[in-house]
Amino acid sequence: MKIVVIGGTGLIGSKLVANLGARGHDAVAASPRSGVNAVTGEGLIAALAGADVVVDVANAPSWEPAAVLEFFERSSKNLVAAEAATNVRHHVALSIVGAERSPDNSYFRAKLAQENIVKSASVPYSIVRATQFFEFLGALAEMGVVGGRIVVPSAQFQPIASEDVADHLAEVATGQPLNGTIDIAGPERAPFNEFIARGVKASGDTRPVVGDPTGPYYGAPIDDTSLVPLGEARLGKTSLANWLTRR
Ligand SMILES: NC(=O)c1ccc[n+]([C@@H]2O[C@H](COP(=O)([O-])OP(=O)(O)OC[C@H]3O[C@@H](n4cnc5c(N)ncnc54)[C@H](OP(=O)(O)O)[C@@H]3O)[C@@H](O)[C@H]2O)c1
């Protein structure tokens, strides 16, 4: 199958292109670096010609509220229109677990807008909602720095390795459209601050990590039900301990 990966040069995209290639598919990375811009539409029709499936793992360069919303709305509208014009038969979008449960989080709102565009388009689709990636833990720790401490929420958390996200996406992209949504998450659930503390310690950082029961996530209030799957979820196989050992 020819599978075009929009954002195929990114963290998830590059792993997905490699994974699909190893499964014997013709996986093509498309992004501004290769002259394909989902926001302006530049190069889209040419890139999608002959494609069976499109997987959208692009990410916005700016997470400023208006900019991120515009990015996911415009890129999703352009993508589904180009797919309809080129007879693509399956659109796969990577979204976030709990996108509808944090209305004060502007990034989550933008992902929800993306999901709604995909759902209302004519192209059969699958939406894969992932929890936060292990690769993101360092940035989350830095965001919590207060003086000499790292203060982060203590809500339940279930992050996943990016290679496991790519593997689940490859499985979905090479199957029949779900015309629905699935959740994927890491194999372990624990308080947010525990994951951050394990990552911080493994990097040799001695700053204390403090869990704040009312601590927000990207400025939005969260609780134990905000960031983790509430129903059935497909789990990654990589534990944080294994991932940290490999790095
Ligand atoms: N971070 C998390 O924990 C998390 C959790 C769940 C879901 N997600 C979702 O996972 C997805 C992938 O994230 P990531 O961390 O892999 O992203 P990333 O590493 O930042 O990569 C972003 C990709 O998007 C491409 N891109 C940027 N602007 C584009 C445009 N106008 N048109 C087409 N492609 C464009 C980039 O291309 P160039 O290299 O050419 O610039 C790059 O390939 C995102 O949709 C995000 O919402 C993230």
- pLDDT tens per residue, range 76-127: 999 999 999 999 999 999 999 999 999 999 999 999 999 999 999 999 999 9
Q: What is the pLDDT averaged over residues 27-34?
A: 98
Q: What is the CA(177)–ligand 1 centre distance, in A?
A: 22
Whether the per-residue pLDDT at 192 is higher than 90: the answer is: yes
pLDDT for residue 86: 98
- What pLDDT does residue 247 have? 84
Tell me the H-state helices in the chain: 11-22, 44-48, 65-85, 106-120, 137-143, 162-173, 192-202, 240-246
The CATH number assigned to the domain holding 201 equals 3.40.50.720
CB atoms within 10 A of CB 77: 17
Identify the pLDDT of residue 201. 97
pLDDT tens column, 36-74 = 999 999 999 999 999 999 999 999 999 999 999 999 999
> Which of 23, 123, 111 has its CA nearest to residue 82?
123
Structure tokens at 131: 């929890």
Q: Which residues line ligand 1 (CB under 6 A)?
A: 6-7, 9-13, 31-33, 36-39, 57-59, 61, 75, 94, 96, 111, 130, 132-133, 136
Q: What is the pLDDT of residues 116-160, one digit of tens each?
A: 999 999 999 999 999 999 999 999 999 999 999 999 999 999 999
8 Å CB contact between 60 and 72: yes
- Which residue has the CA at smallest separation from atom 21 of ligand 1? 10
What percent of the chain lies above the pLDDT cut of 90?
99
Do the Cβ atoms of 44 and 80 come closer than 8 Å?
A: no
Whole-number average pLDDT of the chain:
97
The total number of structural domains that make up the chain: 1
Residue 9 Cα to ligand 1 middle (Å): 8
- Range of 131's domain? 2-246
Q: Residue 21, SS3? A: helix
- Compute, in angstroms, the gap from residue 233 CA to the centroid of ligand 1: 22
Distance 57 CA to ligand 1 centre (A): 5
